[in-house]
Structure 1
Amino acid sequence: MKLFYIKAALLNTMLLSFVDDGTILAQSKQLDDNNVGLRKAYKIIYLLFVAFALVLEHDKTELFHFSCCRDTYNPSLDLGYAPHTSATPLKPKTYWRYLGFYFDRGLTFHEHVRYYATKAFTTMQAMRMLGNSTRGLSPKQLRLLYRSCVVPIAMYGYCLWYFNGACNKGAMNQLKQMQRKAALWIMGAFRTSLTGGREALAGLIPIHLMLKKLATCTVYHVATLSDTHPLHSMMGERLLKQAEPHARSAALMTPAMRGKVKSTVMEVDERVHTLTESFEPFAPKARPGDWLLDRFADQLHFDECDPTQDRRPYLDKLIAKARADPLTVLAATDHSVPQSNQYQAASAAIIYKGHHKLERTRYVSGRVTTPDAELNAIACAVHLAVKQANCQHIMVFTDSMGLAHRAVDPSVHWSGF
């Protein structure tokens, strides 16, 4: 981007980058002058890509023109497309697609929801090929496919049109029809059966409750952002933190304006105070260089094992040596995950010092996966070991060395807890 600004210093253009997408902005008083500037800027970008051995996909390039002419145009419906008047040859489009979102003149997002509801339904139709005539997929597998593959498609960009005070009944009906067909596909029921009953038997949450749940999670996710995140610049005074307020920020609005504006940003500003937990996006212990493995690398040792060798003599010798040390605490961990969903997983830990058993405890880990239950068992064992008097060394025995590494890894990774 620095090279672009050096080469395009005289073109009066700006470059924005969105991960793997980019936008070139150009301003001029004449449409022809704007085209010339964009053409030259695009050539600079192309040559830079070639110099860095990158590929610029021309077939994905889109061109948009915005006009300030408002001779016979309603400003409230303005999306940047100028009317077809004597001042400009541009004609307004019915829908505008930008970064995967579909905008219309009234910002109803009906086309956006229709497009992604249809895409989700066609994805679900394509999944019928996964089962053959002899042995098809079970309803449990079909539900898993729908929840993991189809729902994320249908809910893409829901924050644009689902928020407190939005008129979204039409958009909601399209998603309800899509889920109705999904319930028919999962259960193999008749088309005349009741929608609510099919969704209940298929284990599908109703669309309005699913959207409400996602909207609540979106509100709470804002609390995990850093204090200087650009999104804070749009919030009110309570969430502004260290960010500079934007010109359209809620912090600069009058109470009368705040009562009229309805958007996801306003909903976040109103509801985030209901969150009772606190988050530290950049906690000192999670900073590179301050991690446990960075500061105490010489005090942590992982005894990797070769599954092809018999380690019992080696482990017996190791345990005997640890029991002879009065400052060493031994901890053994294990877990149990039942096959039935009716029961919860359990984590267990036993603490020894010498030949004396100090603690033996079991914890309910909830309905989690096997790695989560084992990770909880390791955490419980260490928590109990550090409470013991004269404890300077802790030796933990586990059957998952990968989770032992994760127990001391504060980086971002998936976890069920």
Structure 2
Amino acid sequence: MYQTSRRIERAVTIEDLRRSAHRRLPAFVAEYLEGGAENEVTLARNRTAFSRRTLAPCALVDVSAVDLSTTLFGKRLPLPFVVAPTGLNGLLADQGDLQLAAAAARAGIPFAQSMVSMATIEAVARCLDTPHWMQLYVLRERAFAEHLIERALAAQCAALVLTVDGPVYGNREWDRRHYARPAVLDWPSRLETLAHPRWIADIWRRGRGPRFVNVETYTGTRMSAPQTAHWLRERMDASLHWSDLAWLRARWPRPLIVKGLLAADDVRRAIDAGVDGVVLSNHGGRQLDLVGSPLDLLPQVARFAKGRIALLMDSGIRRGSDVAQALALGADAVLVGRAVLYGLAAGSEAGAARALAILADELTRTLALLGRPTVDALDASIFAEGMHTGPVPAMRPSARPA
């Protein structure tokens, strides 16, 4: 049985938070949060990838003190987590990006702010005493990237994350079914939204809906969220090339991370281009369907990239044991997206903090039961050779929004 109480502190698993989030959100927002591309094969693979391996614990090891700390870009962190860059968080909770940043700060971990966040870079910076990373999509108008980089540098952002798996928008068919035309909800979705008065009161409590304020700062024009989304979609630079990394590298003197790689050769090219880190990612299954899980690529990439750059991954993490597997296969840390967004949607900052606490508690227990008292003790020896199971069906939301 899953916990169904609205009291966030009683959530035991990320799934508990997901169910609470579904009760609170209107269907069109819940589908934006949950959905993947086309047949959602990749969305399912992200979860089944974590169920294929069998763990092999070591007994009679002193695990009276389990240490989850790790080092990333020279900074010691209490947990091997980074809050992933995610957009439209202002539709999950009032001031969602600030609430999420505050939860990351409470946990002592980096917060990666999306370019399409709904809070300014400067406002997020004021929430954080932990590393503040800024995520970037490159538009055809390079002046926009230069504008964002200047502000990120002034706000003392510790790293820049270039997302490269979005030259065009993924085909998220379930999401599209809520709209009569781009950015305009159909009438059934509008009427269904009225069944969520608490969400409406929360999101519009300031007298206006959330907007993409970092884009507005550049354009000088106040636009609604749908108008801004359309503006961005029309300007995405589908011609972005490896040679453009030099242009970005010359403008960003701090750690530069490339997010969205799924091929070992691309990781090699990124290293040659002088990046400081990569995120193996399939965008949470939201871009191209039928691609593989970053978890399965990790061992191959770790053989030549480990120790040369920061090696990170995301996509599909819902349990502390998922984190342990990623670290054992070579990741230095993981980016957490949907798991913490479920908490945000269920209970704002407290919910996001609860999600991180659940993952940390599960990771601590997993390390103790594996007989590995530190994150550094995790390696491929935690897996039993010849004992791989078949994939377990992924858990998709039991009550998908109509």
* TM-score normalized by the length of structure 2: 0.23
Larger RCO, structures 1/2 (Cα 8 Å, 6+ apart): 2
* TM-score normalized by the length of structure 1: 0.23
